[in-house]
Amino acid sequence: MRVAIIGSGYVGLVTGTCLAEIGHNVICVDNNTAKVEMLKKGKIPIYEPGLDVLIKKNVEAGRLGFSPDIKDSVRAAEVVFIAVGTPPKEDGSADLSYVENVAKQIAESLDSYKVVVEKSTVPVETGDKVRKTIKLYNKNNIPFDVVSNPEFLKEGSAIEDFMRPDRIVIGVETKKAEKVMRELYKPIPTQMIVTDIKSAEIIKHASNSFLATKISFINAVANVCEKTGADIKKVAEGMGSDSRIGPKFLSAGIGYGGSCFPKDVDAFVKISESVGYDFKLLKEVQAINKAQRTHFIKKIHESLWVPKDKKIAVWGLSFKPNTDDMREAPSIDVIKHLQKEGAKITAYCPGAMEKAREIFSSLDYANDKYEALKDADALVILTEWDEFKNADLGHLKSLMRNPLILDARNLYEPEEMRKAGFEYRCIGRGSKG
Ligand code: NAD
């Protein structure tokens, strides 16, 4: 099939590339012309494992292309995906101006029947608004269908998630659109859940809000563990081995970040409010998440006493491992706080240092994890990249001025760290951590 993807960010680029990989002819469109030029030259604007190889393969096979031109791309396509950002506004609700803008441009480009697919994460009832907008600007009354097809990929394993998803959700209004979507995803071996558009929209917000709830829940339990001497790792293991609960999203830490959970929980709270439901549970999830960052910063203060002029090494800047995404990363709050207190920070991150340069006006970066530690008064670990898990502890200790580690991701065993001569503080490991 011929597919146009409007918005070539994390989701658009992965969606377009994977659809090309399963045999479709795809054009990825973006109004950021620099990004399009980069892609045309074979450079990939984001860090996503395996994406570069797949893009190259599909461009060479003639199934994948890039363009700044929405009109021609829409006209050439049977299916048009909207994959632009839906960032949070100041009040927490989703900013849908990019979606509206694209819907309008699609309408003005229509010359034959198209299926217009909402891929961006949007509040319930956006499908209605997209349909109305397209009708309004569709001067020649060309037929079209709107479909909701929320995306569940995770940055860092996006290709695998797209190719082998737990399910594909489509919200449709007509049999014709359902048939097109079934045909499009036919090569992907998974169950397809077909709903109305509003239910599909809510599935996405409810899923992310549920996962965020799981994270805040385990962080709340971690606080009780800290105060009682229990060990959150053991508690999570005991809970997670119950198949009704499951082990995923039960890692206590500094709380969730990234471009999705914070904004999607905020948006879901706002939508619920707008239809007259006060989603108090999710408000508490937000509050626990915020408090978790403050709690960790407090720990740094307790251990370091006065941060001013102390040399602090930071490992991990991205909001999670295997991505360069810095949106809502806990590292931003922690580093900005410590800089305000006068600490001297040297950071190292395997994936996000380039993106971090756009955020921090002054921050020293190291070339590798050990270089960051030279004469450090403390090491603060903020993202659980694999390369931090296998660090040479002896070497690490020899480089630091003071062997103090504040670990927001529970990478190490407290007993082993103590034996190795470190003062080691982590999350929810009671008297041990
Ligand atoms: P992103 O910011 O990386 O990409 C959005 C792209 O859209 C940008 O490249 C931007 O230049 C482009 N764009 C904006 N307006 C445009 C226009 N008028 N015409 C053409 N291009 C335009 O965002 P993302 O992370 O890919 O997220 C996109 C959507 O997918 C969001 O709604 C997000 O919530 C959702 N989502 C994201 C993830 C994720 O892990 N990143 C996962 C699932 C769903």
pLDDT in tens, 225-268: 999 999 999 999 999 999 999 999 999 999 999 989 999 999 99
Q: Which of 195, 226, 246 is the last residue of a domain?
A: 195
List the one residue out of 193, 190, 181, 183 whose CA is nearest residue 163: 190
Whole-angstrom Cα distance, residue 151 to residue 15? 9
**Contact of 86 with 121, CB cutoff 8 Å:** yes
Asked, for residue 432, whether it belongs to a domain, the answer is no
Q: What's the pLDDT score for residue 58?
A: 98
Determine, yes or no, domain membership for 204.
no
Count CB atoms within 10 A of the CB of residue 334: 23
Q: What confidence tier does 430 reach under pLDDT thresholds 50, 70, 90?
A: confident
SS3 readout for 213-262: HHHHHHHHHHHHHHHHCCCHHHHHHHHHCCCCCCCCCCCCCCCCCCCCHH
* Minimal-distance CA residue to ligand 1 atom 17: 31
Whether 410 and 275 share a structural domain = yes
- Segment 147-162 shows an average pLDDT of 96
24 and 150 within one domain: yes
Pocket mutation for ligand 1, best pick of 5, 6, 8, 10 (most atoms within 8 Å of C-beta): 10
Give dist(CA 282, CA 121) in Å, integer: 18
Give the chain's domain count.
2
Q: Which of residues 148, 168, 195 is at a domain's end?
A: 195
Q: Per-residue pLDDT for 432 more than 80?
A: no
Average pLDDT, integer, range 367-379? 98
pLDDT of 154 = 93
Residue at which a domain ends, from 195, 224, 252? 195
Please tell me the distance from the alpha carbon of residue 61 to that of residue 64, in angstroms, as a whole number.
8
Considering the domain architecture, whether residues 191 and 294 belong to the same structural domain is answered as no
* Candidate of 14, 18, 28, 30 to mutate for ligand 1, largest count of ligand atoms within 8 Å of Cβ: 30
Identify the residue whose C-alpha is closest to ligand 1 atom 34. Answer: 121
Which domain CATH number covers 386? 3.40.50.720
Ligand 1, from 97, 118, 259, 265: best to mutate by most atoms within 8 Å of Cβ? 259
Domain check: are 189 and 218 in the same one? no
| pLDDT tens figures, 15-72 | 999 999 999 999 999 999 999 999 999 999 998 999 999 999 999 999 999 999 999 9
DSSP state of 346: E
Residue 59 CA to ligand 1 center (angstroms) comes to 21
Instruction: Clarify whether residues 237 and 362 are in a common domain.
Output: yes
Same domain, 371 and 398: yes
- Residue 77's SS3 state is coil
Which one, of 90, 95, 32, lies nearest residue 66 by Cα?
32
State in Å: Cα 6 to ligand 1 middle: 9
Check whether residue 227 and residue 165 sit in a common domain: no
pTM: 0.94
Q: Is residue 275 domain-shared with residue 317, that is, in the same domain? A: yes
> Residue 406: in which H helix or E strand, if any?
strand 404-407
Residue showing tokens 């048009």: 80
Query: pLDDT tens-digit profile of 301-356?
Result: 999 999 999 999 999 999 999 999 999 999 999 999 999 999 999 999 999 999 99
Average pLDDT over residues 64-92: 97
Can you tell me the distance from the alpha carbon of 235 to that of 232, in angstroms, rounded to the nearest whole number?
A: 5
Alpha helix (H) residue ranges in 46-119: 51-60, 70-76, 97-109
How distant, in Å, are the alpha carbons of 122, 123, 155, 260, 265 from that of 206? 12, 10, 19, 12, 8
> Does 142 share its domain with 227?
no
Question: What value does the mean pLDDT of the chain take?
Answer: 97
Q: Which residues lie with the beta carbon below 6 Å from any ligand 1 atom?
A: 6-12, 29-32, 35, 70, 83-86, 98, 101-102, 120-121, 151, 153, 155, 259-260
Tell me, yes or no, whether 135 lies in a domain: yes
Residue 94 is part of which domain span?
2-195
What span, in angstroms and rounded, lies between the C-alpha atoms of 70 and 110? 11
If you average pLDDT over residues 162-190, what whole number do you get?
A: 98
Distance between Cα 13 and ligand 1 center (Å): 9
CB 379 within 8 A of CB 345: no
Q: Are residues 57 and 173 in the same domain?
A: yes
pLDDT in tens, 171-184: 999 999 999 999 99
Q: Identify the pLDDT of residue 433.
A: 58
